[in-house]
C-alpha cells in the first residue's frame, strides 16, 4: 500500500523539481543580465568573483557548450521545438517513473531544457555566464566553456540517469 502511494507521488514531485530548476535558471539569468547589467556589456566581459570563477556574458546560439550554432531565426525555432519535444518525451517517461532517482533525473533535464528554450524565445540565444576557465586543472587541462544553471541541471540529470541505469541494472541481476 505504501509503495503504491509513494510511486504515484513521484511524477508530481518530479514536475515540482523541474519548475524549481526553471525558476532558479531564469532568476539567475535575470540577476546577471539586469541586476549586474551584463546585458549591456560587450560579450566576453568578465566580472571576477573568485580568482578561479568569473561571470562572463556569452550568448550561446547553439545547444550545450555551443554545439550546433543556430544563426537564423528558423534554426533557433528548431532548437526550441527540439527542447520542447525532448521535455514532452521525458515528461511522459516521468509519469511512469517508479524510482525517485529516475524522476529527479528527468526533472533536471526537463527544467534545464525549458529554461534554455525560454531564453531562445526571448533573446534568440541562451545567456551563459558561469565561467570556471581560470580554475587550475591537473595536467594543464583547462575548462574553457561558459555555461548557466540550466546547463548544470541537464548535466546533473544525465549523470543521475547513468547512476540509475547502473543501480537498476545491478539490482536486476
Catalytic residues: 128, 151
b or e along 84-119 (b: 16 or more beta carbons within 10 Å of the residue's beta carbon)? eebbeebbebbeebeebebbbbbbbbbbbbbbbbbb
User: Taking a C-beta distance cutoff of 8 angstroms, is the pair 83, 114 a contact?
Assistant: yes
Amino acid at each position: 500500500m505504501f509503495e503504491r502511494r509513494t510511486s504515484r507521488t513521484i511524477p508530481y514531485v518530479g514536475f515540482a523539481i523541474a519548475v524549481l530548476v526553471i525558476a532558479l535558471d531564469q532568476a539567475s539569468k535575470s540577476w546577471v543580465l539586469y541586476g549586474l547589467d551584463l546585458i549591456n556589456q560587450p560579450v566576453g566581459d568578465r566580472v571576477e568573483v573568485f580568482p578561479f570563477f568569473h561571470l562572463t556574458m556569452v550568448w550561446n546560439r547553439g545547444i550545450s557548450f555551443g554545439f550546433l550554432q543556430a544563426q537564423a531565426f528558423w534554426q533557433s525555432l528548431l532548437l526550441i521545438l527540439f527542447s520542447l519535444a525532448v521535455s514532452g518525451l521525458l515528461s511522459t517517461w516521468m509519469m511512469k517513473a517508479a524510482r525517485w532517482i529516475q524522476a529527479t533525473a528527468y526533472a533536471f533535464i526537463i527544467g534545464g531544457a525549458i529554461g534554455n528554450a525560454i531564453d531562445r524565445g526571448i533573446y534568440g540565444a541562451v545567456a551563459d555566464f558561469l565561467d570556471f576557465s581560470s580554475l587550475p586543472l591537473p595536467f594543464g587541462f583547462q575548462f574553457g566553456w561558459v555555461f548557466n544553471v540550466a546547463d548544470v541541471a541537464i548535466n546533473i540529470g544525465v549523470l543521475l540517469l547513468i547512476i540509475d541505469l547502473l543501480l537498476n541494472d545491478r539490482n536486476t541481476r
